[in-house]
């Protein structure tokens, strides 16, 4: 891991992230096909271990306009026809967007009460607030979320202020045996907006204790490297 030199104050860090999120607010770097692939990995791993296919609730971190929360809800908990329709009705331009937004938006969860079939999000930019998106920082989430989520997804780890603190917080909200899915820009240079650079798989594994169940370099449709880790808790 390489951190951007010249540490920002907490206020500067949060302001920088919100301003950047504002500039890029319409973009979503997650595709429904990514979410469906993660579904396959997680359900496959649960099945191989003889466990019920009960992966939720799901938490997405750094969700900007919130579309990825819809994608995870549809991919993990939607019916087969709805999953297929969402995959067919997605436009891939500079980023990804729904050609039929209500198909993805319908049935949003409540971030105040995440249930077994919920997908909820966290976004620091107040413009991203929604019924299913909690406004705040992903390194300082509600105390009541300890061990609450079966799947925690993010492609925003590069935006964290302190990788150790962020990884501990993501691990805290993941239930033992749950999955952390990290999409990251492998070996990218750190910058004021992306303070965490130089990330490689070995760093991700050191930050998130557990078993690697899937890895693909630059495997997401937007080109992020992606790691799925089954989290083991209580290890030093
Ligand atoms: C690179 S964008 C990714 C957005 C989205 N996941 C996507 O794929 O399009 C990072 C997002 O994370 C948010 N973010 C950055 N730092 C954050 C923090 N500490 N807590 C919560 N959200 C944060 C930013 O505001 C921004 O919307």
Identify the pLDDT of residue 136: 98
- Is 182:214 a contact under the CB 8 Å cutoff? no
Asked if 86 and 101 touch (Cβ cutoff 8 Å), the reply is no
Q: How far, rounded to the nearest angstrom, does the alpha carbon of residue 26 sit from its chain's CA centroid?
A: 17
Average pLDDT over the chain, rounded to an integer: 96
pLDDT of residue 6: 80
pLDDT tens readout for residues 94-143: 999 999 999 999 999 999 999 999 999 999 999 999 999 999 999 999 99
Confidence of residue 236 (pLDDT cuts 50, 70, 90): very low
The CA 146 to ligand 1 mean position distance, Å, reads 21
pLDDT digits (tens, 9 = 90+) for 176-200: 999 999 999 988 899 999 999 989 9
The pLDDT tens digits of the residues spanning 211-233 come to 999 999 999 999 999 999 999 98
The better pLDDT of the pair 11, 7 is held by: 11
* SS3 category, 87: helix
CB 63 within 8 A of CB 35: no
- Residue whose CA is closest, atom 6 of ligand 1? 63
Which of 32, 159, 164, 191 has most ligand 1 atoms within 8 Å of its beta carbon, as the pocket-test mutant?
159
| Residue 109: predicted pLDDT | 98
Ligand 1 lining (C-beta closer than 6 Å): 17-18, 21, 27-30, 62-64, 68, 122-125, 137-139, 155-156, 159
Report field, pTM of the whole predicted structure over 0.75: yes
pLDDT in tens, 9-55: 999 999 999 999 999 999 999 999 999 999 999 999 999 999 999 99
14 within 8 A of 137, measured Cβ to Cβ: yes
Contact between residue 208 and residue 173 where contact means Cβ atoms under 8 Å apart: no
pLDDT of residue 149 exceeding 50, the answer is: yes
CB-CB contact of 169 with 141 (8 Å):
yes
Among 157, 159, 105, 155, residue whose Cα is nearest residue 133: 105
The secondary element (H helix, E strand) that includes residue 120 is: strand 119-123
Question: What average pLDDT does the segment 144-154 reach?
Answer: 98
H/E segment holding residue 184: strand 174-184
Locate the ligand 1 atom nearest the alpha carbon of residue 64 and give its number. 27
Tens-place pLDDT, residues 53-80: 999 999 999 999 999 999 999 999 999 9
Ligand 1 atom with the shortest distance to the CA of 30: 8
Q: What is the mean pLDDT of residues 79-90?
A: 98
Tokens standing for 72?
Answer: 């995870």
Q: From ligand 1's centre to the CA of 48, what distance in Å? A: 33
């Amino acid at each position: 891991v390489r951190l951007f030199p010249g540490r920002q104050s907490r206020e500067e860090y949060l302001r920088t992230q919100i301003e950047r999120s504002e500039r890029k607010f319409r973009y979503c770097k997650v595709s429904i096909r990514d979410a469906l692939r993660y579904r396959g990995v997680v359900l496959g791993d649960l099945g191989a271990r003889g466990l019920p296919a009960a992966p939720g609730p799901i938490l997405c971190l750094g969700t900007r306009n919130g579309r990825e929360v819809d994608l995870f809800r549809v991919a993990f908990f939607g019916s087969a026809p709805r999953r297929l329709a969402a995959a067919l009705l997605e436009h891939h331009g500079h980023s990804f967007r729904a050609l039929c937004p209500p198909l993805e938006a319908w049935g949003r969860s409540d971030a105040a009460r995440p249930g077994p079939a919920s997908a909820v999000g966290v976004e620091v930019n107040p413009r991203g607030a929604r019924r299913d998106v909690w406004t705040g920082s992903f390194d300082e989430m509600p105390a009541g979320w300890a061990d609450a989520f079966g799947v925690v997804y993010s492609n925003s780890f590069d935006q964290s202020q302190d990788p150790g603190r962020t990884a501990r917080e993501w691990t805290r909200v993941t239930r033992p045996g749950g999955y952390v899915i990290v999409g990251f820009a492998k070996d990218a240079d750190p910058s004021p907006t992306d303070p965490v650079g130089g990330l490689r798989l070995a760093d991700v594994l050191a930050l998130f204790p557990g078993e690697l169940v899937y890895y693909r370099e630059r495997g997401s449709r937007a080109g992020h490297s992606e790691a799925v880790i089954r989290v083991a808790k209580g290890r030093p």
